[in-house]
Amino acid sequence: MTALLSPLRALKQKLFPEDPVARNRKLGAKIGERVGIERDVIFDYSHAAQIELGDDVILAPRVHLIAHDASTRRHLGYTRIGKVKIGNRVFIGAGSIVLPGVIIGDDVLVGAGSVITRDIPSGSVAFGNPAKVICSLQDYLNRKKAEFEALPHFGCEYWTEADPTGKLRAEMNAAMKDRFGYII
């Protein structure tokens, strides 16, 4: 996985030079090693110290990590806060929201657009609003391995700047007649 992320990280660093890991660590978030934070990810700015990410976590674009709930502030005069803990080897899909007090275990995949209101156990795949566990990570990976064998594969040259004319991207689209393929 590290070999695949290297060209992507280099491209992201060129396009978005600000380091979101360093910025959120300065705000007090505990962030492990080899963490990928994509564009427009929001850490609860005023409560980043209540957020903890393990190693090898990927937060897709527009993920929100929320550690406070101010809905009672105007009426009751106080705000509820809750620690957010995300384990190791977790992927959280684009546009997902993790609410205060949620613990996500190790080896978890969260589908795009999910709202995580409750804990997700290790070794799970979850999605939805509210997010629900739909299967084990192993079952999901077994299905994707079988799918991988049946679909076209493409090297990183198909999605990086190595294709200035667009010829490789056009070739990739033509090969994906069944809508899907895999980058290797």
Instruction: Mark residue 33 as left, alpha or beta (left: phi above 0; alpha: psi -120 to 50; beta: remaining).
Output: beta
- d(C-alpha 114, C-alpha 92), whole Å: 9
Whichever domain contains 67, its CATH number is 2.160.10.10
pLDDT tens for the chain, 184 residues: list them.
445 456 655 655 565 557 899 999 999 999 999 999 999 999 998 999 999 999 999 999 999 999 999 999 999 999 999 999 999 999 999 999 999 999 999 999 999 999 999 999 999 999 999 999 999 999 999 999 999 999 999 988 887 777 778 888 889 999 998 789 998 8
Domain annotation covers residue 144: no
Residue 1 pLDDT: 46
pTM above 0.75, yes or no: yes
Report yes or no on 145 lying in a domain: no
Same domain (yes/no): 117, 179: no
Q: Is residue 55 part of a domain?
A: yes
SS3 75: helix
Determine the structural domain holding residue 164 and report its residue range. 151-184
Residue 64 annotated among the catalytic residues of the structure: yes
Cα–Cα nearest to 92, from 153, 51, 151? 51
Domain count, the chain: 2
Q: Does residue 37 sit in the same domain as residue 106?
A: yes
Q: Is residue 94 part of a domain?
A: yes
Please give the C-alpha separations between residue 152 and each of 1, 8, 81, 134, in angstroms, as whole numbers.
19, 20, 47, 27
Inside any domain, residue 57: yes
Q: How far apart, in whole angstroms, are the C-alpha atoms of residue 41 and residue 64?
A: 6
**Exactly one of 47, 64, 75, 153 is catalytic; which is it?**
64
